[in-house]
Structure 1
Amino acid sequence: MKLGKVEFCHFLQILALFLCLSGMNQAELSRSRSKPYFQSGRTRTKRSWVWNQFFVLEEYMGTDPLYVGKLHSDVDKGDGSIKYILSGEGASSIFIIDENTGDIHATKRLDREEQAYYTLRAQALDRLTNKPVEPESEFVIKIQDINDNEPKFLDGPYTAGVPEMSPVGTSVVQVTATDADDPTYGNSARVVYSILQGQPYFSVEPKTGVIKTALPNMDREAKDQYLLVIQAKDMVGQNGGLSGTTSVTVTLTDVNDNPPRFPRRSYQYNVPESLPVASVVARIKAADADVGPNAEMEYKIVDGDGLGVFKISVDKDTQEGIITIQKELDFEAKTSYTLRIEAANMHIDPRFLSLGPFSDMTTVKIIVEDVDEPPVFTSRLYSMVVSEAAKVGTIIGTVAAHDPDASNSPVRYSIDRNTDLERYFNIDANSGVITTAKSLDRETNAVHNITVLAMESQNPAQIGRGYVAITILDINDNAPEFAMEYETTVCENAQPGQVIQKISAIDKDDPPNGHQFYFSLTPEAANNHNFTLQDNKGVVTPCLSRAVNLY
């Protein structure tokens, strides 16, 4: 009859168990017959129970009940006067006993991983009296293991990382498989590990399950992830052993083993001269095959004729070098600039310094483009003076503007009438000479602030603006005025010389605090001898010269 693999495995284990126990049973039988039983210092009848040590092979596949062992008492003479009783775990439901012979059989398929042993009690009774002929005794039926469980990776699948360029033998991760079979019996639970997929890059320690690198200089930039399949096989890897597998995803983590490199040796950008200060002129980027902090870099201008005109900074998000303007550009002054720019890694790994400098250089040429600019005045603010007595047409001063472009287009001048609504001034369109257009009054407006427009003749849309402050000089063209109208009351008993009123005068002309006024009484008042006037340098003190009776 041809046996299958499982049946053949069971057969071999049963045979080994039988050979192992055959010697044990004889020794056990001998001990049971010769060992006396003592209690409380008195010798008692020796124990008469005789049985083999019981083992039952798990996962029995037969159709008949599985023989376990035999219970026997020395009292039993084989005449049928003794019957055997079995009780305890699994009695009757799993284990049955032939009450005449004491033979025990298992009626069900047993699984050691569910329950490893059963505790039962045996009793021998006199069949006629039904009384015990032996004390009740407890014994154990152990379930003998077979290799019926494959190793399992309870924590799989695994993920792990290891730095690129790691030396051979660098530990990556440890995998662990468990086997539910009995570790104390045979090799059913003794596992060895092997790698089914992942060579030649990785290896696994057969006993520990530690995965290690197996090739030098693995490059993340060439391949950054590997899928490994690890097998665990019991029976120490021998034929007939059961196996289980798990996957391990290994990611190569980055190290700074790549310097930055500019894609081009030179760049050129055209920039209009009108670009405001702080504007971005260009963005350049050095390529770095590394990632994260290992790809971070800084840029600097190391040479060139634009060191004070441009600056470069780094965009932290994109790692680009951003070139901006620091000073205004002027096509008429300089038409191009050349910058020598360096990009360098910020975090350098000393292990890879032998690969060369972790920096690179490039040249950036910036071409300044001409822009049609408006005329520019020679001064941002002109200050002029003119007397308020100046006649119409008097020249006050001259402004000058020019076209800063290479074409140097002629300029025409005009006054922004929004700043000279009363049209006090005129300007010569060609020469920029400013003259009075009407009479001026300092007391009405002491300073005139006007805006002068300069337009290119060839392009009137290009307009420059100049600012002129015209100060009006004062002349003495205003008579003094009394500060107020005075009305004075005097008592009839006022004493001669008593001050009864102080009077003052004002003058609209300059200077406001420096005028000298001279006071006198009118001829009509001078004939009244009751009052006198004293000139006190601008302050008048009328005084009584004698008593006056009032009715």
Structure 2
Amino acid sequence: MISNQALLLLMLSNLWPSTALPFMSGNIGNLFGMPESDGKVLQRSKRGWMWNQFFLLEEYTGNDHQYVGKLHSNMDKGDGTVKYILTGDGAGTLFLIDEKSGDIHATKRLDREEKAMYTLHAKVLDRNTNAELEPDTEFNIKIHDINDNEPKFAREIYFASVPEMSEVGTSVATVTATDADDQTYGNSAKLVYSILQGQPYFSVDSENGTIKTALPGMDREVKENYQVVIQAKDMAGQMGGLSGTTTVSITLSDVNDSPPRFANHSFRVTTVESTEIGGAIGRIKADDPDIGHNAEMEYSIVGGHDTFNIITDQTTQEGVIIIKKALDYESKKDYEFRVEVRNTYLDARFIHGVQFKDYATVKVTVEDVDEPPVFTRNPYIIEVHEDTAAGSFVGVVLARDPDADNKPVKYSIDRHTDLERLFSIDSTNGTITTLKALDREMSKWHNISVVATEINNPRQTTRVPVFIKLIQTISAVDTDEPLVGHKFVFSMSGTNPNFTIVDKEDNTANILTRRGGFSRREMSMYFLPVVISDNDYPIQSSTSTLIVRVCACDSRGNMQSCSPEVLPFSDGLTTGALVAILLCVIILLMIVVLFAALRRQRKKEPLIISKEDVRDNVVSYNDEGGGEEDTQAFDIGTLRNPEVMDANKLRRDIIPEMLFPFRRTSPIKDNTDVRDFINGRLQENDSDPTAPPYDSLATYAYEGSGSLAESLSSLESAANEGDQDYDYLSNWGPQFKKLAEMYIGRSPDRET
């Protein structure tokens, strides 16, 4: 048998064939107890150690020290003068060396997994002088591995999931074990995986530990959790190999492979008619074996419904039926509709060939409740003439019991809304009358509340606001003194689509609306020409314009933004006033004409040189006008010079009932008496229907040619400085006074 040392050296020669074994004496044959080869001694030409690396098996179980190897130098003559010294990892404790022979032994059992290699240093010394015979040389002691460690998994239990209905071979998870043995030496760390529990549902890859599905159509709704045991065995799975196991808990995750279904396809719901709009009256539920968002559903009424709607409670996945329109037991008691349920989220892999929705029928029964009275209108807006006397009729409100038995109703006024006690109401028929006279100047609106109460059940009451508006009336006065009182007739010029006038035949009239729905956006102001005529002969009339403003009001009828009053204004004066003003103006103009004639005897030209308006607009008001908006109420064209006057000028404030041709004669150019000229002009204007009364005057300041009066000025021209007659006004005064009496028809002693 070959000794362990020889085997060790043989292994070394195989590992390092290029390095000769360093022996000072003897040869390999002597070392193994073999004769010399051909009687020659093999000698190394170069000194050196005979070792480089030693190998030692781990986990030695013998009682003696484990032999490692032998150190030997070619300086050793075998006479005991050489001493071997060992230093490095574990020298002197774990590893011991015989100083004389160089044998190395391990004193303890070694574990490769604890330390796989030790590095030491060897020295050769002269025993007598301690001089180094060889330099310090390094060598290794490598621990050979044996299969003394089983495979281990990182965790005792793993958790994994895979979608239900997955195809065969779908990867679930990968589990890996580790072996502490040497991966590069033998099969001690070569692992093989196998499944001990979990078949036939799952399988495992023997090389990498990947778990896969092995059975098709695994349904979460049938079985959700699986326990799979995986084993890892070393030595490539051979007999005698060590093994380790782990458990993998696999859960089938949900997919939307199940449609919602109604357990009962008919539902009945009962509610009362007083349920408010938007209130819930019942719930229905469909079942879906899926979980999470795969079980989310949405409900809808097939074809929609005008009275009911259905929404989904996202927490409970129930369909909630709500009121969409007010219920009325007396109108309809029973309803029936069809409800559809479907999944919110669909999986395209499972919808083919499967109806992922279901239907159910819902019947709703409405129950009667005792309801309060209902007014025919809400609110009421009633118009009453101002200055209405006490006990006058105002209006009627009407309420009824909406229940089938139609219980009687009584009426009352909430006195908190009528603190002055201006109104009363008939408790039986709802007729409202005045208790006191109403004054529009004190209050234009009266807002009261009327209460309707069921006689058999006083708890059933209803309130309604009643807005009472006082209507303004118009009136007129005449400064004349008729023999038998004033009698005025009111009318409206033309046809007005918005308003009408009603003559009350008591010298007052009412203005009423002919339509509703006035809007400030369309028109904020209306102008109503009102014609007022007397009953004396000759009949005199006047036109006034009434301004009606559209006001913005709130829901209770209170005015929010508007002028405080509806103000009429006048666009004309009485005939007598106009004539008096006209005579005064004519006298003044004649004085101016005569004065100019004295200064310009040799020049005969119109008094008004240019065609610009040189006029005095003398207006007398006995009522409040309309301000700047009143400019359309009169025409001042009459004041223009006859040569520049528009012959077709008509009034712009009203539409005349008949169109008359405008007639005007040319100024007198021959020797005509001034009185005849003025009198002719007055008669001409009296017979002209388009002539005044306006707030304007016609100007006759035109000097005629060949006047018999010649110059009436008290001043002589510059060429004639003789005595003058300064009493010309006293000569002409009686003539003008007589002319005024002729036109006005009044006594001479009366003041004009």
Give TM-score, length-normalised by structure 2.
0.57
User: Offset of 1:388 from its aligned partner?
Assistant: 4.7
* 8 Å Cα contact 1:258/1:288 also seen in 2: yes
- Alignment partner of 1:65 is 2:65: yes
Among 436, 439, 443, the alignment partner of 1:438 is 436
Counterpart of 2:323 in structure 1 is 325
- Indicate whether 1:461 and 2:545 are aligned: no
Partner Cα distance (2:403, 2:459) in 1: 14
Q: 2:356 aligns with which of 352, 355, 358?
A: 358
Shift of 1:80: 4.5
Q: Which moved more, 1:145-154 or 1:382-391?
A: 382-391
Describe the shift of the 1:280–1:28 C-alpha distance in structure 2 as closer, same or farther (beyond 3 A).
closer
Counterpart contact for 1:313–1:322, Cα < 8 Å: yes
The one-character-per-residue Cα deviations of 1:299-354 (angstroms, maximum 9, x if unpaired) are: 21114xx7122222233343332322222111111112222111111221121124
Tell me the distance in 1 between the aligned counterparts of 2:6 and 2:375. Answer: 121
In the superposition, relative to structure 1, how do residues 52 and 416 fare at CA in structure 2: closer, same or farther (>3 Å)?
closer
CA contact (8 A) 1:36 1:46 kept: no
Conserved in 2, the CA contact under 8 Å of 1:373 and 1:404? Answer: yes
> Would you say 1:513 and 2:568 are equivalent positions?
yes
Please state whether the residue corresponding to 1:84 is helix, strand or coil.
strand
Q: SS of 1:252's equivalent?
A: strand
Helix, strand or coil for the counterpart of 2:349?
helix
| 2:11 is aligned with 1:24 | yes
RMSD: 3.7
Q: Which one-letter code corresponds to 1:537 in the other structure?
A: Y
Is the counterpart of residue 218 in structure 1 residue 273 in structure 2? no
- Go from structure 1 to structure 2 and tell me whether the alpha carbon gap of 1:438 and 1:59 turns closer, same or farther (over 3 Å shift): same
Q: Deviations over 1:106-154 (max 9, x none)?
A: 1122121222122233344555665566565433211011122222223
CA-CA distance at 1:19 after TM superposition: 12
**Matches of 1:423 and 1:191, distance apart in 2:** 108
Structure 2 residue 523 is matched with structure 1 residue 536: no
**What residue identity is the alignment partner of 1:24?**
M
What is the CA–CA distance in structure 2 between the aligned matches of 1:133 and 1:474, rounded to whole Å?
145
Does 2:418 correspond to 1:420?
A: yes
- 8 Å CA contact 1:48–1:75 kept in 2: the answer is no
Structural mapping, 1:198-347, within 5 Å: 198-303=198-303, 307-347=305-345
Q: 1:392–1:436: 8 Å Cα contact kept in structure 2?
A: yes
CA gap of 1:59–1:431, structure 2 versus 1, over 3 A, is same
Query: Cα offset for 1:227?
Result: 3.2
SS state of the match for residue 24, structure 1?
helix
How far 1:288 moved relative to its partner?
A: 2.0
8 Å CA contact 1:202–1:215 kept in 2: the answer is: yes
**Contact 1:59–1:109 at 8 Å: present in 2 too?**
yes
- How far off its partner does 1:31 sit? 7.3
Deviation at 1:209, TM superposition (A): 0.8
Call closer, same or farther: CA 1:155–1:386 in 2, change over 3 Å: same
Q: Distance in 1 between matches of 2:16 and 2:446?
A: 137
User: Within 5 Å, which residues of 2 pair with 1:82-231?
Assistant: 82-125=82-125, 127=127, 137-154=137-154, 157-231=157-231
**Whole-angstrom CA distance in 2 between matches of 1:224 and 1:277:** 45
Counterpart residue type for residue 148 of structure 2: D
Question: What is the SS of the residue equivalent to 2:294?
Answer: helix
Residues 35 and 425 of structure 1: is their aligned pair in 2 closer, same or farther, counting only changes over 3 Å?
Answer: same
Aligned counterparts of 1:145 and 1:218: Cα–Cα separation in 2:
46
Cα distance in 2, alignment partners of residues 535 and 50 from structure 1: 150
- Tell me how far 1:384 sits from its aligned partner: 3.1
Which secondary structure state, in structure 1, belongs to the residue aligned with residue 167 of structure 2?
Answer: coil
- Distance in 2, matches of 1:79 and 1:427, equals 152
AA matched with 2:420: E
For residues 131 and 247 of structure 2, what CA distance do their matches in structure 1 show?
65
Note if contact 1:33-1:48 (Cα within 8 Å) is conserved in structure 2: no
Letter in 2 for 1:536: S
Which stretch has the larger CA shift, 124-133 or 344-353?
124-133
Name the SS for the 2:293 alignment partner.
helix
Deviation at 1:389, TM superposition (A): 5.2
CA–CA separation in structure 1 for the residues paired with 2:152 and 2:334: 72
Separation in 2 of the partners of 1:536 and 1:90?
Answer: 140
Does the 8 Å contact 2:51/2:139 carry over to 1?
no
* 1:356 shift after superposition: 1.1
Distance 1:397 1:192 in 2: 105
Counterpart in the other structure of 1:3 = none
* Secondary structure, counterpart of 1:353 in structure 2: coil
Distance 2:51 2:296 in 1: 81
Cα distance change on mapping 1:139 and 1:517 into 2, 3 Å = same
In 2, Cα distance between equivalents of 1:29 and 1:186: 22
Structure 2 SS opposite 1:231: strand
Cα distance in 1 for residues equivalent to 2:212 and 2:226? 13
Q: 1:67 to 1:362 in 2, by over 3 A?
A: same
Identify which range, 350-359 or 20-29, moves more after superposition.
Answer: 20-29
Structure 2: tracts of 5 or more residues without a match? 25-42, 479-564, 575-617, 625-752
Distance 1:517 1:476, change over 3 A: farther
Return the alpha-carbon distance in structure 2 between the equivalents of residues 413 and 464 of structure 1: 10
Question: How far is the alpha carbon of 1:400 from its aligned partner?
Answer: 1.8
Q: Distance in 2 between matches of 1:311 and 1:54?
A: 92
How far 1:208 moved relative to its partner?
Answer: 0.6
What is the alpha-carbon distance in structure 2 between the residues aligned to residue 378 and residue 424 of structure 1? 24
Deviation string 1:5-34 (CA, Å, 9 cap, x unpaired) is xxxxxxxxxx9x999868636768997668
- In 2, distance between residues paired with 1:539 and 1:400? 44
| Change in CA separation of 1:47 and 1:380 when aligned onto 2, cut-off 3 Å | same
Aligned residue in 2 for 1:499: none
- Which secondary structure state, in structure 2, belongs to the residue aligned with residue 85 of structure 1? strand
TM-score w.r.t. length of structure 1: 0.76
Map of 1:505 onto structure 2: none
* Rounded Cα–Cα distance in structure 2 between residues aligned with 1:448 and 1:136: 128
Shift in alpha-carbon separation, 1:385–1:183, aligned structure 2, 3 A:
closer
Cα separation, 1, equivalents of 2:566 and 2:11? 140
C-alpha contact 2:52 2:140 (8 A) present in aligned 1: no
User: How many residues of Structure 1 are paired with residues of Structure 2 in the alignment?
Assistant: 475
Partner of residue 429, structure 1: 427
Instruction: Write out per-residue CA displacement over residues 478-505 of structure 1, whole angstroms, 9 at most, x where no aligned residue.
Output: 999xxxxxxxxxxxxxxxxxxxxxxxxx
Contact 2:161/2:252 (CA < 8 Å) preserved in 1?
yes
Q: Counterparts of 1:20 and 1:331 in 2: how far apart (Å)?
A: 113
Identity %: 55
Secondary structure at the counterpart of residue 152 of structure 2? coil
Contact 1:33 1:47 in 2 (8 A): no
Letter in 2 for 1:381: P
Contact 1:273 1:369 in 2 (8 A): yes
Deviates more, 1:262-271 or 1:219-228: 219-228
Shift of 1:430: 2.0
Q: Residue 449 of structure 1: SS of its match in structure 2?
A: strand
Higher mean displacement: 118-127 or 307-316: 118-127
Deviation at 1:87, TM superposition (A): 3.0
**Aligned twin of 2:56:** 56
Change (3 A) 1:56 1:514: same
Ranked by relative contact order (alpha carbons within 8 Å, sequence separation 6 or more), the top structure is 1
Secondary structure at the aligned position of 1:350 is classed as coil
- Aligned partners of 2:5 and 2:69 also within 8 Å: no
Cα distance in 2 for residues equivalent to 1:261 and 1:28? 79
Q: Matches of 2:270 and 2:122 in 1, distance apart?
A: 106
Partners of 2:414 and 2:283 in 1: CA distance = 43
Please give the alpha-carbon distance, in whole angstroms, between the structure 2 residues aligned to 1:392 and 1:121: 138
